[in-house]
Amino acid sequence: MTLPGRGRSRDLGRHFIVKPRSKVDLGAYDPADTSHVGDKEAAKEQLKENSEAIDALQERLFAERKRALLVILQGIDTSGKDGTVRGVFGSTAPLGVFVTAFGAPSAEDLSHDFLWRIHKACPARGTIGIFNRSQYEDVLIGKVRKLAPPAVIEHRYDQINAFEDLISSSTRIVKFMLHISKDEQKERLQARLDDPDKHWKFNPGDLADRKLWDEYMKAYETILSRCSTQGAPWYVIPSDKKWARNAAISAIVRRTLEDMDPRYPKPDWEPADFKVE
Amino acid sequence: MTLPGRGRSRDLGRHFIVKPRSKVDLGAYDPADTSHVGDKEAAKEQLKENSEAIDALQERLFAERKRALLVILQGIDTSGKDGTVRGVFGSTAPLGVFVTAFGAPSAEDLSHDFLWRIHKACPARGTIGIFNRSQYEDVLIGKVRKLAPPAVIEHRYDQINAFEDLISSSTRIVKFMLHISKDEQKERLQARLDDPDKHWKFNPGDLADRKLWDEYMKAYETILSRCSTQGAPWYVIPSDKKWARNAAISAIVRRTLEDMDPRYPKPDWEPADFKVE
């Protein structure tokens, strides 16, 4: 396993990063934009190169065992969270990659604060953790469906920022919002209804959430505006085209790992002292 | 994602399965055997096909959410447990595959029975769990290094069989012993000493374990003889050649999943009743 060069790859992240304390208007982001990656063939080639680089960097991270990487994926139903895990990390060795999908909290989860189940699932040093949904659900569905009083929701943004600052001591954090258009969601929901092999992915409740589209977009704008920090930035990824989404996310994950620059550890023993007999 | 055929693949497992209650002599197993897979090119082609089939079957298992698959990997140092995870499951979507590496038990682990930490890590319905080392360490290193009294060790074989019977209610279990020769281990340990990028994989304690080679082989013979059951069979995989090992294990995992035959669930709603607006 050799690392392709020590130089840094192209910095696609700067196109998509949400600058700390900026006010986000999602209407200004085109979910169908592909200009950053070129055409489909070029994007697939980029994804392949990035995936190989991520796999090599992940081995170093695992050997080093000093820091973790946490990748948070958020997006409205059908935005492609599962597909991103498959597309971007499908060829990374599963030894050091752990995916956690956060669904409705269990009775045990609910008997603690809202970050308890999140903290438990945070990646250990040396590993990559991928959150398919995350703590942000508590200020997304939590807010839109009024699952907690407004003052409680309001307090959560600061609690999340403080929590992310805490885990930053051992963990690098990147957060992706998979941004699709309302028309694209319609097509994808319809595909799940039309294809029997996709029925299991369809949840009748998704249609109720679709009716709350505008409220969800507002809730996303709030988390992007309030919770993109230097140490745990949000990226808004145009996701109508799956290939453009995968190319962009893989590029940012790769670049983040390059920036962390994990190294094989020096042994605390002298190789010349040992002989295998 | 289409499943390549509904027919069953070649049954390589019958070459390697340990029949329940048979008395195993590892001297009769050639770790360099490759006759079951043909040459290296053919084996790589088989691995590729098997990996794709495993990925497709895994999605069905995940959609079905009725049963889990537990893959146990055991073998002496350098036998290729990590390499098997990477080689066989490297292209399976990480959404439903969870690897647990069992190292020395923690203080919390030790404050419970020896199967407590194992049970906690068992895969949930719909997922594939891979154990890199397992409960069998407690009758391998535990026995060879006399970490518990002989009567306690002796009791553990039955405890393990009873435990595996318990989890079988939701989980299919396959257990692989990666069988390498003493000469092959010498080469692999030497490579870890010679290559700075592999130093992190070398543990000076491995040489002490190598001196206990014969005792370890005897301990393996005991678990193979006593713990290969109908519901949780052991397979002894010739592993001097990594490509032959990966082809064989991927074939058996694929065949096991085909035999489980997971199906996309029928929805409890009527697709025609829904319209996406």
The ipTM, to two decimals, is: 0.79
Mean of the per-residue pLDDT values of chain B = 93
Residues present in chain A in total: 277
Specify the pLDDT at position A10: 85
- CA–CA separation, A233 vs A230, rounded Å? 6
Specify the pLDDT at position B2: 41
Residues 6+ apart with CB under 8 A from A235: A13, A16, A17, A18, A174, A175, A176, A177, A249, A252
Residues of A whose CB is below 8 A from B194: 271
- B204 in contact with chain A, both atoms CB, cutoff 8 A: yes
Specify the pLDDT at position A57: 95
Question: CB B94 to CB A89 under 8 A?
Answer: yes
Which chain A residue's Cα is nearest to B189? A276
* Least Cα separation, residue A201 to chain B (angstroms): 8
Mean predicted confidence (pLDDT) in B125-154: 96
Specify the pLDDT at position A91: 79
User: Nearest Cβ partner of A93 from B85, B98, B277?
Assistant: B85
* Least Cα separation, residue B72 to chain A (angstroms): 14
* Least Cα separation, residue A149 to chain B (angstroms): 30
Residues of A whose CB is below 8 A from B200: 63, 264-265, 267
End-to-end CA distance of chain A: 27
- CA–CA separation, B117 vs B135, rounded Å? 9
Residue B150 has pLDDT above 90, yes or no: yes
Question: CB B94 to CB A91 under 8 A?
Answer: no
Specify the pLDDT at position A5: 46
Question: What is the bridge-based pairing of β-strands B97-101 and B68-74?
Answer: unpaired
Could you tell me which of A59, A126, A244, A247 has the C-alpha nearest to residue B197? A59
Residues of B whose CB is below 8 A from A99: 94-95
Residues of A whose CB is below 8 A from B89: 94
Specify the pLDDT at position A204: 87
Residues of B whose CB is below 8 A from A190: 276
- Cα atoms in the Cβ-side hemisphere of radius 13 Å centred on B135: 25
Write phi, then psi, for B50 (nearest 5 degrees): -65, -40
Residue B6 has pLDDT above 80, yes or no: no
- CA–CA separation, B196 vs B198, rounded Å? 5
> Between the CA of residue B259 and those of A253, B46, B57, B248, what are the distances in Å?
38, 18, 11, 16
pLDDT band of residue B5 (cuts 50, 70, 90) is very low
* Least Cα separation, residue B272 to chain A (angstroms): 8
Question: CB B200 to CB A264 under 8 A?
Answer: yes
- B190 in contact with chain A, both atoms CB, cutoff 8 A: yes
Structural tokens at position B49: 């096909």
Structural tokens at position A248: 């962009």
- Strand, helix or coil for residue A238: strand
Which chain B residue's Cα is nearest to A275? B190
State the DSSP H helix or E strand holding residue B177, giving kind and residue range, or none if neither: strand B171-179
State the DSSP H helix or E strand holding residue A237, giving kind and residue range, or none if neither: strand A234-238
Specify the pLDDT at position A2: 41
Specify the pLDDT at position B7: 63
DSSP state at residue B22: P
pLDDT, tens digit (0-9, with 9 covering 90-100), for B68-121: 999 999 999 999 999 999 999 987 777 889 999 999 999 999 999 999 999 999
CB atoms within 10 A of CB B49: 16
Residues present in chain B in total: 277
Specify the pLDDT at position A106: 94
Question: CB B91 to CB A90 under 8 A?
Answer: yes
Question: CB A199 to CB B93 under 8 A?
Answer: no
Residue B152 has pLDDT above 90, yes or no: yes
Asked whether the CA dihedral B114, B120, B126, B127 is positive or negative, the reply is negative
User: CB of B164 within 8 A of CB of B150?
Assistant: no
Residue B178 has pLDDT above 60, yes or no: yes
Burial label, A21 (beta-carbon count in 10 A; 0-12, 13-18, 19+): exposed
Beta-bridge mates of residue B68: B171
User: CB of B131 within 8 A of CB of B72?
Assistant: yes
- A92 in contact with chain B, both atoms CB, cutoff 8 A: yes
Amino acid at A223: I
Q: How far is CA A83 from the centre of its chain?
A: 12
Residues 6+ apart with CB under 8 A from A218: none
- A147 in contact with chain B, both atoms CB, cutoff 8 A: no
User: Nearest Cβ partner of A93 from B86, B101, B186?
Assistant: B86
Residues of A whose CB is below 8 A from B132: 95
Question: CB B86 to CB A95 under 8 A?
Answer: yes
Per-residue pLDDT of chain A in tens (277 residues, 90 and over written 9)? 344 445 678 889 999 999 999 999 999 999 999 999 999 999 999 999 999 999 999 999 999 999 999 999 999 999 999 999 999 988 777 788 999 999 999 999 999 999 999 999 999 999 999 999 999 999 999 999 999 999 999 999 999 999 999 999 999 999 999 999 999 999 999 999 999 999 999 988 899 999 999 999 999 999 999 999 999 999 999 999 999 999 999 999 999 999 999 999 988 888 888 989 8
Residues of B whose CB is below 8 A from A266: 199
* Least Cα separation, residue A40 to chain B (angstroms): 20
Residue that wins the pLDDT comparison between B2 and A86: A86
- CA–CA separation, B210 vs B193, rounded Å? 15
State the DSSP H helix or E strand holding residue B81, giving kind and residue range, or none if neither: helix B81-89
* Least Cα separation, residue A21 to chain B (angstroms): 33
CB atoms within 10 A of CB A261: 13
* Least Cα separation, residue B214 to chain A (angstroms): 14
* Least Cα separation, residue A126 to chain B (angstroms): 13
Which chain A residue's Cα is nearest to B191? A276
- B124 in contact with chain A, both atoms CB, cutoff 8 A: no
* A-B Cβ pairs (cutoff 8 Å, strict): 104
pTM of the model: 0.88
> Between the CA of residue B21 and those of A72, A264, B151, B224, B229, what are the distances in Å?
49, 45, 21, 9, 8
User: CB of A160 within 8 A of CB of A136?
Assistant: yes
Question: CB B264 to CB A186 under 8 A?
Answer: no
Which chain A residue's Cα is nearest to B91? A91
User: Nearest Cβ partner of B271 from A92, A93, A193?
Assistant: A193
- B149 in contact with chain A, both atoms CB, cutoff 8 A: no
